[in-house]
Structure 1
């Protein structure tokens, strides 16, 4: 099979580093260039030090049009500035929030959640990768929305690791503040709510977008645990059947019969779900790695679909486990 040649813009950050780690081991990929303004001329392993011995690629400050696809691992608001400089012959996968809602640009973007839009992604020329919180929460709720079973009054409590804020140091990511600490941020108004609402109303037009979302910062580096509660009269047996049926053809989402923990998914492209019912209250727990299924792993999954590769190619990763 002919290899896909890729370019990466913004390769020095967390998502860029994870993308490089995946792509240098991908059986159907050749990396054409890795762009970084601040690190041009440096070996990739000088920034991502774990890659010493794995690659001799260097960062560059120039791009070329000989690639088949470009991954944009730029900060929010930066991708929209750069996308028009990329040849329209080249496919684009954007990991920022710039095109998730505003898909009708000069280059139309498909929302890149495979468990929602797999067939559209296969035909897409440009894909907007979902947000990390948005991925975890949507995967918890899509099966219910697909059967018009979402009620009003959904409550979500989700905790993310420190890598969720990016590599640039901030007061809330500094070790001395984050360690042995916990905090709430952007309650009720997190930016990922808009894309979650858009997906859920696509499946269930009557959904009222009535969600109370409380994001939290955790004392760990990577991963998201989202706990979603809602009221339903459906039996636990019917719910389990609904979830199993919805995710039957989606290789990275698994429903567990036992209570789950975050380390089951850290360093993987999996989402693991657990559902439990108490009287009329349903609890749905969703765990993902925010840098993989919540970012770079999902971007590679989208690339696989866009180029007709095995959806799991380059993504059969080992969990940290302990």
Structure 2
């Protein structure tokens, strides 16, 4: 059994990890670390797990085989400086500390987008789990980047649920603001842009065009819907393009190209990513949907863990969504 510890155990991503790992056939939870809640039952915070676990928050990591860092952005580096982990312990960081700056001391973090870096992940000890917006957008673009086909400006509009902002309440996350409301934020300057550019370059498209990214806050709790388009006239036929995408993702247990338009509820509560491709007036238009807490965070982290420990990458992740 893989002994897993979750650090930063009270947040949304930690809660999703617990829901997955408690039912993972190859995992035993070693510890759920929270200095602020040490000594309290995990179910005091994660009420949906009542009756499923008697775990208690602790301030001790224990002796895990893998640590999931579910800390705030910028907090993973100080944590690793202040805490000694077993030399054999693998690390999966769900923050942004190592996505664009992967070398830290004697540790080198692999970018954990399984559909791009599967072989590297299998050999890695340290993983930088991708961001949620980055995951949804990269799934639309890495097939094209792998063939150096991104040559014209890329336009992205993407909307996310309130859980994407984390558990700590803020002015734009509380119910009174979010309900029946949509707003733009960090237009053209979102923090995931560097992550997207770096990954597309590593996928093969080393000369990148401008990426115009307009993120939006949605009036719902979870899920990302991304709309991505760029000029495509004369590059590849419509049939060839769709066949290429389907072949590119043929080996993925979670990413699929749908022949029909997609809607967000089709992926909520799952680790799936669904794409739909259309062509209009010389442009390719790709829509992408994921659950920001699963494929965009905790589900992808477990997928990375499965690969690192030689398991089938879908182990423990065959989750059923809800249509209504």
Task: Tell me the TM-score normalised to structure 1 length.
Answer: 0.97
What aligned pairs does 1:87-166 form with structure 2 within 5 A after superposition?
87-106=86-105, 107-166=107-166
* 2:294 aligns with one of 270, 274, 292: 292
Question: Displacement of 1:241 after TM fit?
Answer: 1.1
- Classify the secondary structure of the residue corresponding to 2:295: coil
Aligned length: 319
| Cα distance in 2 for residues equivalent to 1:205 and 1:159 | 26
- Classify the secondary structure of the residue corresponding to 1:172: coil
What aligned pairs does 1:13-92 form with structure 2 within 5 A after superposition?
13-64=11-62, 66-84=63-81, 85=83, 86-92=85-91
| Cα distance in 2 for residues equivalent to 1:67 and 1:111 | 22
Q: Is the 8 A contact 1:152 1:207 kept in 2?
A: no
Q: Is the 8 A contact 2:185 2:216 kept in 1?
A: yes
Question: Displacement of 1:104 after TM fit?
Answer: 1.3
What aligned pairs does 1:142-291 form with structure 2 within 5 A after superposition?
142-233=142-233, 234-291=236-293
| Cα distance in 2 for residues equivalent to 1:215 and 1:88 | 40
Q: Is the 8 A contact 2:149 2:205 kept in 1?
A: no
Question: Displacement of 1:242 after TM fit?
Answer: 1.1
| Cα distance in 1 for residues equivalent to 2:317 and 2:205 | 34
- Classify the secondary structure of the residue corresponding to 1:169: coil
Question: Displacement of 1:205 after TM fit?
Answer: 3.7
Name segments (4+ residues, structure 1) moved above 6 Å: none
Question: Displacement of 1:216 after TM fit?
Answer: 0.1
Q: Is the 8 A contact 1:151 1:232 kept in 2?
A: no
Root-mean-square deviation over aligned CA pairs? 0.9
Gaps of 5+ in 2: none
| Cα distance in 2 for residues equivalent to 1:217 and 1:15 | 19
| Cα distance in 2 for residues equivalent to 1:209 and 1:127 | 28
- Classify the secondary structure of the residue corresponding to 1:293: helix
| Cα distance in 1 for residues equivalent to 2:252 and 2:278 | 22
Moved more, 199-208 or 24-33: 199-208
| Cα distance in 2 for residues equivalent to 1:215 and 1:310 | 34
Gaps of 5+ in 1: none
| Cα distance in 2 for residues equivalent to 1:267 and 1:31 | 21
- Classify the secondary structure of the residue corresponding to 2:216: strand
| Cα distance in 1 for residues equivalent to 2:231 and 2:207 | 14
- Classify the secondary structure of the residue corresponding to 1:99: coil
Question: Displacement of 1:89 after TM fit?
Answer: 2.0
2:305 paired residue number:
303
Q: Is the 8 A contact 1:197 1:209 kept in 2?
A: no
Question: Displacement of 1:309 after TM fit?
Answer: 0.8
Q: Is the 8 A contact 1:252 1:271 kept in 2?
A: yes
Q: Does 1:7 align with 2:26?
A: no
| Cα distance in 1 for residues equivalent to 2:152 and 2:207 | 8
| Cα distance in 2 for residues equivalent to 1:121 and 1:114 | 7
Question: Displacement of 1:209 after TM fit?
Answer: 4.2
Question: Displacement of 1:88 after TM fit?
Answer: 3.0
| Cα distance in 1 for residues equivalent to 2:293 and 2:11 | 11
